[in-house]
């Protein structure tokens, strides 16, 4: 079974907004996709790190705009750190 390689671009992929307000990208080959969809903000960080995120890693949108997935607006953190950022 071939291993998954981190995407460097997903411009021509289908996308939609989740009911929670996040951008989802159609990427059924991603090992953590759900029904073929995966969060764009996680793809952005995975591209930067050149690896799939660990289960305990989460992403905080610094300006709290869930559709602003510019790398400078994303902060890789633990769930605990993420919860503190929202207090």
- Res 2: pLDDT: 57
In a domain, 10, yes or no: no
In a domain, 2, yes or no: no
Question: For the chain, how many structural domains are there in total?
Answer: 1
In a domain, 8, yes or no: no
If one counts every other C-beta atom within 10 angstroms of the C-beta of residue 43, the result is 24
**Of residues 55, 51, 62, 58, the one with CA closest to residue 85:** 62
**What range defines the domain where residue 72 resides?**
15-85
For the segment 5-29, the average pLDDT, to the nearest whole number, is 94
Q: Tens digit of pLDDT for each residue in 52-75?
A: 999 999 999 999 999 999 999 999
- Quote the tokens at residue 60: 């905080």
- Res 1: pLDDT: 41
In a domain, 64, yes or no: yes
In a domain, 63, yes or no: yes
Phi, psi of 8 (to 5 degrees): -100, -20
- Res 25: pLDDT: 98
In a domain, 23, yes or no: yes
- Quote the tokens at residue 42: 């996680």
């Amino acid at each position: 079974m071939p291993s998954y390689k981190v995407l460097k671009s997903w411009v021509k992929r289908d996308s939609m907004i989740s009911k929670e307000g996040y951008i989802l990208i159609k990427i059924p080959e991603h090992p953590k996709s759900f029904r073929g969809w995966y969060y764009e903000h996680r793809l952005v960080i995975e591209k930067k790190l050149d690896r799939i995120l660990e289960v305990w890693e989460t992403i905080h949108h610094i300006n709290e705009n869930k559709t602003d997935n510019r790398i400078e607006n994303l902060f890789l953190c633990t769930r605990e750190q993420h919860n503190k950022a929202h207090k």
